[in-house]
Amino acid sequence: MSNRIENPAIANLIQTRGTSAPASIAPQTPTTGPSSFENVLQDKLKVSGHAATRIESRGINLGPSEWERVIGGVDKAAAKGAKESLVMVDNVALVVSVKNRTVITAVDQQNIKDNVFTNIDSAVIV
């Protein structure tokens, strides 16, 4: 199940545009219409409640270009038959269910040291 990410920067965007963000994503740009980045991301990738909590608590901020790179990494993993993949984007590691196209957890650079990623069958660095 996906939860809303409560991040001050995102909350500010929500207040200034007068709408709420979709439950499964939290891009950092205002929407411009039905084909906005928010809607595109929601169709291509979900963020689990656990991952949303980790993203918020660790202060991870991924903009539209980073999310597009993550989506590209998930697409590459899917093309190779991966089921659960570690997607590295800049200094952030995301464990993604490729089949469900859902971010399971997120780890930033400060917390990545000495971390062991289990239950993955691939890694994509984008």
Give the span between the Cα atoms of 33 and 48, in whole angstroms: 25
Q: Residue 90 has which token pair?
A: 């800049």
Q: Which residue has the tokens 């990410």?
A: 5
Write the pLDDT tens digit of every residue in 29-39.
443 444 456 66
Per the structure, the count of domains in the chain is 1
Confirm whether 18 is domain-assigned: yes
Confirm whether 2 is domain-assigned: no
Percent of the chain's residues with pLDDT above 90:
59
* pTM reported for the whole predicted model: 0.70
Confirm whether 101 is domain-assigned: yes
Give the span between the Cα atoms of 87 and 96, in whole angstroms: 7
Of the ranges 28-42, 72-86, 99-113, the best mean pLDDT one:
72-86
Confirm whether 40 is domain-assigned: yes
Alpha carbons within 13 A on the beta-carbon side of 82: 23
Confirm whether 112 is domain-assigned: yes
Q: Which of 19, 78, 20 is CA-nearest to residue 45?
A: 78
DSSP-based three-state secondary structure for 104: strand
Identity (one letter) of the amino acid at 21? A
- Structural domain boundaries enclosing 115: 8-125
